[in-house]
Structure 1
């Protein structure tokens, strides 16, 4: 798959449907399931497809390997790549919220940056005890405007969310649970069975009533949509391209970034 110069494969994100549960698995373990524009585009397409599939009643998002998702693929972090990733990520986040079926994030490992914003966008989230959640944008010249700055404060409180976003912090799954970031934390070996149990409970409910309940519960997400679009515009217009290069290079070279030229 080629998308405006960005390349991906159908194998990057897998779909399987079992007993009316659609399992969508991020399948780039060698990159900690990082996303570029092509991967976000495929995720949105898959979500839009299962939304209208009568054989699907619940959707589960998860990752292959030791990560749920490390967020944006830093290797594609040029200024253009950063903006393009944001545009396609917004489509994927919107597809989660507009999906007619409940979407559960099964957080099997680290969920950072855009990966964490997928958790934020999901209707429900169940995390493995070993998982960690957080943001990384301010370290590398990005900003989590697709959930981190606008929806996460509604879930865990403004001061906590600002601390996570400003300092690019990560917290344990247990801390995320206590703050209201995820619905349940379980031992790693119990993650899939617990998620399946939650999905089966949802499948037993009235489907149209559940769809209406989801649409109504999206009210604060819908109010936040304009801030997401504005945030992407601000990144496009306000972040110097060279500073993005410095953030990317520092990350790849495992050294502190030097942003003194842009103060």
Structure 2
């Protein structure tokens, strides 16, 4: 986390990593070098056992305006990193939660980044949109795949084919957003969520996320129900000190000390 950063900033608060996209002059739109930098930040986050939750936000009054089209128009095509747009849209089966602190507009790839996160806290002035079809491109950073799973189909299609905007309040009503707050409270509220998550056993969080991921990818729930305890992260939890520390701390009326 100490390496020089050109397009983002990072800050650690206890077990929480705060990642800020720092390109306010283009409303935090991302070009491939910025995505590569974010990819390395996320690589470091997932590899660091001391970090349990990440909060991703944008500098200024925008979360992320998506792909930097001006940069794209002036350069040759550049490949995205393995983690996808913003270093996160192609990260499947993650082991730690990521919270999107959407402090303003989240358009195009910015919306796709938010959809990739596990929770979303949004400013009351925030808005979400996939306007790609209006400029002759297509949202291939996961938006067309995730949005119909996270919104009612007709609502999702209105955003996808008509490029309609979705307000933060409407997104909350549809269950896409966890909480809507004034813009100046977005980061602090996201940190409150992150710190609450960080109090849980990291091993238990990993196990829960793996079961959820498998459940979403497998249509036969009854088959997964039988073998969920054989999933790697679940087996690791059962074999870890956390599995006995949690119940012991509860019975002793103290805060648990997680070791995994």
CA contact (8 A) 1:90 1:146 kept: no
SS across alignment from 2:210: helix
Corresponding residue for residue 190 of structure 1: 185
Deviates further, 153-162 or 115-124: 153-162
Does the alignment pair 1:89 with 2:70? no
TM-score by length of 1: 0.75
Corresponding residue for residue 14 of structure 1: 9
Question: Distance in 2 between the 1:18 and 1:164 partners?
Answer: 36
Question: Distance in 2 between the 1:70 and 1:142 partners?
Answer: 15
Question: Distance in 1 between the 2:7 and 2:203 partners?
Answer: 32
Corresponding residue for residue 103 of structure 2: 108
Q: Which entry has the higher C-alpha Rg, 1 or 2?
A: 2
Q: Give runs of aligned pairs for residues 81-230 of structure 1, distance below 5 A.
A: 84=79, 88-89=84-85, 92-95=88-91, 97-219=92-214
Question: Distance in 2 between the 1:80 and 1:216 partners?
Answer: 42
CA contact (8 A) 2:99 2:121 kept: yes
Cα 1:124–1:178, aligned 2, differ >3 Å: closer, same or farther?
same
Task: Give the Å deviation of 1:177.
Answer: 0.8
Q: Once the two structures are superposed, what CA deviation does each residue of 1:180-236 show, in whole Å capped at 9, x if it has no partner?
A: 22111112232222111111110111111101212222347768xxxxxxxxxxxxx
Task: Give the Å deviation of 1:15.
Answer: 1.3
Question: Distance in 2 between the 1:68 and 1:191 partners?
Answer: 11
Gaps of 5+ in 1: 1-8, 224-263
Gaps of 5+ in 2: 219-260
Does the alignment pair 1:32 with 2:36? no
SS across alignment from 1:150: helix
SS across alignment from 2:90: helix
Question: Distance in 2 between the 1:84 and 1:220 partners?
Answer: 31
Task: Give the Å deviation of 1:98.
Answer: 4.3
Question: Distance in 1 between the 2:182 and 2:111 partners?
Answer: 20
Corresponding residue for residue 64 of structure 2: 69
Q: Cα RMSD (Å) of the superposition?
A: 2.3
SS across alignment from 2:54: strand
CA contact (8 A) 1:41 1:92 kept: no
Question: Distance in 2 between the 1:85 and 1:49 partners?
Answer: 18
Question: Distance in 2 between the 1:212 and 1:178 partners?
Answer: 29
Question: Distance in 2 between the 1:220 and 1:148 partners?
Answer: 20
Cα 1:44–1:220, aligned 2, differ >3 Å: closer, same or farther?
farther
SS across alignment from 1:174: helix
Aligned length: 214
Corresponding residue for residue 234 of structure 2: none
Task: Give the Å deviation of 1:154.
Answer: 0.7
CA contact (8 A) 1:36 1:85 kept: no
Task: Give the Å deviation of 1:79.
Answer: 11
Task: Give the Å deviation of 1:80.
Answer: 8.1
Corresponding residue for residue 55 of structure 2: 60
